[in-house]
């Protein structure tokens, strides 16, 4: 499996965010997207997830499930948690597990992020870090080969960051692929770095 971008350009609100971008990531590899604010890190991730239009260039996945578009093989973890405060923790995850996949992995995923003790509480009662972990549980509950992570470690404490790094290493070891945007290290030491906004 290989995700390849050539001469990729992004235009948002009439402004060119980046252009001529090229990179390639293979299964088992991680790509760290870095750069100053506004360099287009989030836009790039959203573009791979199919949420931002490709203005020019090509974005292609080879060796994945051929009948599915790229966006449907990717998990997008954005800044927003996509959680409903009035539903319980369990109901929130269950819904996404059923909507995005088959819905079997939800209980195990809750345990994997350490939220099984609060499964019956409304998600509105959770702290920012707990909500973030609940979003991460989504990645575990449904198997998708590509993870697109936007600042995945924000609001997480030390222990939760380690747990996330462990999950990411497990995903890579299983042949998965990660594209992550971050300002600091997120525990992917071997990852290649793609710096946006430096060369234009």
Partner 1 sequence: MNPLAALFMRDLKLAGRVGGGAGIGVLFFLIVIVLTPFAIGPDLALLARIGPAILWLGALLASLLTLDRLIAADAEDGSLDLILTGQTPLELAVATKALAHWLSTGLPLVIATPLFALLMNLDSQASLAVALTLLAGTPALTFIGLLGAALSVTLRRGGLLLTVLVLPLTVPVLIFGVSASNAAIVGPLPFGTPFTILCALTLVSFVVGTFAAAAALRHGIE
Partner 2 sequence: MLLLDLANPTRFLTLVQRALPWLIGATAVAFTAGLYLAANAPDDYQQGATVKIMFVHVPAAWLAMGIWTLMSIAALGTLVWRHPLADVAAKAAVPVGAAFTLICLVTGMLWGRPMWGAYWVWDARLTSVLILFLMYLGLIALWRTVDDPSRAGRAAAILTLVGAINLPIIKFSVDWWNTLHQPASVLRLAGPAIHPTILIPLLIMAFAFALLFVTLHLAAMRNEILRRRVRTLMLMQAQAAPGSAA
By the criterion CB under 8 A, which residues form the site for partner 2?
Answer: 85-86, 114-115, 117-118, 121-122, 124-130, 133, 155-157, 159-160
84 binds, among partner 2, partner 1, none (CB under 5 to 8 A by kind): partner 1
Judged on CB neighbours under 10 Å (0-12, 13-18, 19+), 121 is middle
Select 75 or 171, whichever has its Cβ closest to partner 1.
75
**The residue to which tokens 């800044």 are assigned:** 79
Q: What are phi and psi of 180, to 5 degrees?
A: -125, 140
Going 103 to 104 to 110 to 112, the CA torsion angle's sign is negative
74 binds, among partner 2, partner 1, none (CB under 5 to 8 A by kind): partner 1
72 binds, among partner 2, partner 1, none (CB under 5 to 8 A by kind): partner 1
Residue 163, token pair as written in the block: 């747990």
4 binds, among partner 2, partner 1, none (CB under 5 to 8 A by kind): none
Residue 73, token pair as written in the block: 């093989």
Select 89 or 187, whichever has its Cβ closest to partner 1.
89
In the complex, the residues that contact partner 1 under the rule CB under 8 A are: 11-13, 46, 49-53, 68, 71-72, 74-76, 78-87, 91, 94-96, 98-100, 103
Select 104 or 157, whichever has its Cβ closest to partner 2.
157
Select 59 or 87, whichever has its Cβ closest to partner 1.
87
Contact between residue 165 and residue 15 where contact means Cβ atoms under 8 Å apart:
no
Shortest distance, position 139 Cβ to partner 2, whole Å: 17
d(CA 142, CA 158): 25
Task: Identify the CA nearest to 200 among candidates 77, 22, 45, 58.
Answer: 22
């Amino acid at each position: 499996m290989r995700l390849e971008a050539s001469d990729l350009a992004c235009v948002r609100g009439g402004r060119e965010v980046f252009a001529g971008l090229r990179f390639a990531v293979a299964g088992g590899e991680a790509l760290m997207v870095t750069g100053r604010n506004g360099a287009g890190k989030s836009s790039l991730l959203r573009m791979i997830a199919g949420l931002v239009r490709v203005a020019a260039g090509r974005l292609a996945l080879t060796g994945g499930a051929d009948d599915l578009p790229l966006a449907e093989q990717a998990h997008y973890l954005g800044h927003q948690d996509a959680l409903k405060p009035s539903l319980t923790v369990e109901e929130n995850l269950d819904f996404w597990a059923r909507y995005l996949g088959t819905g079997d992995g939800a209980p195990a995923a809750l345990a994997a992020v350490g939220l099984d003790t609060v499964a019956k509480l409304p998600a509105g009662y959770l702290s920012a870090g707990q909500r973030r972990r609940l979003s991460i549980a989504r990645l575990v509950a449904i198997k998708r080969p590509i993870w697109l992570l936007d600042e995945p470690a924000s609001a997480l404490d030390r222990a939760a960051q380690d747990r996330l790094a462990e999950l990411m290493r497990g995903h890579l070891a299983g042949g998965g692929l990660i594209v992550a945007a971050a300002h600091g290290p997120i525990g992917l030491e071997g990852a290649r770095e793609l710096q946006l906004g430096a060369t234009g």
